[in-house]
Amino acid sequence: MIEVKNLVKNYGKGDVVTHVLRNINLRIKAGEFVAIMGKSGAGKSTLMYQMSLLDVPTSGTVTLDGIETAGLSEADRTLFRLNRLGYIFQDYALLPELSAAENVMVPLLMTGMSRAEGMTKAMRALDAVGLGHRLDNRPAQLSGGEQQRVSIARAIAEKPDILFADEPTANLDSVSGEAVIKVMQELHQKQGQTIVMVTHEDEYAAAADRIIHLEDGVIVSDTTVNGREGAK
């Protein structure tokens, strides 16, 4: 499903180049729940950005579902993200002027869905994360945990092939954090959702099938949690 080969990502130019990812090789199978861990600056978020087509690697390839992504134009990458990938950002990334339902609906409308159909799907997705009663509330009227669940609803509404989550619990208290992880776990277990989650918290990483540790841009360990095997 995701194949990363000889991936290198550098920032800067000339003498001030920072080598963030150094020759990463990685395969993630469909249906896996993978946690990417590491200290701050280890390159875990950068790795996720390359795999999720939010950024372009310096060298190496990222192949998603057999599609070599290096040759895609910016417009094609946007379309790919719309149709096949879902995102959960650390700071929820909801549009403040839209209601919860409208936030979920925006990408659905972009796929050509009618407003009525989009609203039905948005309601279903919000219901799935336990926010069926908060459809008309704007982000400012929701707690951090609720906002993150809206963000999850937006990411899963169109049933993406891969769900990427960048430190989804970082801004949440432990109760809200656990609730978010629980939602992701259910998605994975009940629907076989492929999930790639960046986190630095061990207890949340334990929800995953597989944990990849990064250190200074290099994978230092790649282990299966408690013998779980989520890949199809």
Partner 1 sequence: MKDALRVGLMLGWKQLRHASIWTTMLITFVMMLTFLNLVAVSGILVGLIEGSVKAYSDQFTGDIFITTLQGEKHIEKSGDLLSTMATIPGVDAYTARYTEGVTIEANYRERRDPKALRDTVGTTIVGLDPEAEEVVTNLSRHLVEGEYLTPNDASYVMLGATLLEQYSPLGQGDDVGFPTLSDVHPGTRVRVTVGDATKEYIVKGILKTKVDEISRRIFVTDSEFVRLAGRTNLNVNEMAIRVEKDTPASRVKQSLIASGASEYALVRLSREGLPKFLIDVMNTFALLGNGISSIGLVVSSITIFIVVFVNAITRRKYIGILKGIGVRASAIELSYVFQSLLYVLAGSALALIIIYGLLVPFFNSHPIDFPFSDGILVAPLGSTLIKLVILIVATVIAGYIPAWMIIKRNTLDSILGR
Q: List contacts with partner 1 (CB under 8 A).
A: 49, 54-55, 75, 78-79, 81-83, 85, 87, 89, 93, 95-98, 102, 106-107, 109-112, 115, 154-155
Rg (CA), the chain: 17
Q: How far is the CB of 146 from partner 1 (least distance, A)?
A: 18
Tell the smallest beta-carbon distance from residue 17 to partner 1 (Å): 16
CA distances from 223 to 53, 128, 210, 220 (A): 25, 30, 6, 10
Q: Which is nearer to partner 1, 51 or 211 (CB)?
A: 51
Task: For residue 154, give the nearest of 183, 189, 114, 197 by alpha carbon.
Answer: 183
CA 124 to chain centre: 20
CB atoms within 10 A of CB 128: 19
Angle between helices 115-128 and 144-156 (to 10 degrees): 130
Work out how close the CB of 80 gets to partner 1 at its nearest, in angstroms, rounded to a whole number: 8
Closer Cβ to partner 1, 155 or 214, answer by number: 155
Q: Which is nearer to partner 1, 52 or 207 (CB)?
A: 52
CB of 99 to partner 1, least distance (A): 9
Q: Give 137 or 224: the residue with its C-beta nearer to partner 1.
A: 137
Between 80 and 204, name the residue whose CB sits nearer to partner 1: 80
Q: How would you class 49 by CB atoms within 10 Å of its CB: exposed for 0-12, middle for 13-18, buried for 19 or more?
A: buried
Q: Taking the complex as a whole, how short is the minimal distance between the CB of residue 47 and partner 1, in angstroms?
A: 13
Minimum distance of partner 1 from residue 114's CB (angstroms): 9
Asked whether 39 and 80 are in contact (CB, 8 A), the reply is: no
Query: Of 14 and 112, which CB lies nearer to partner 1 in the complex structure?
Result: 112
Q: Where are the beta strands (DSSP E) in 143-185?
A: 162-166
The dihedrals phi and psi of 219, each to the nearest 5 degrees, come to -75, 120
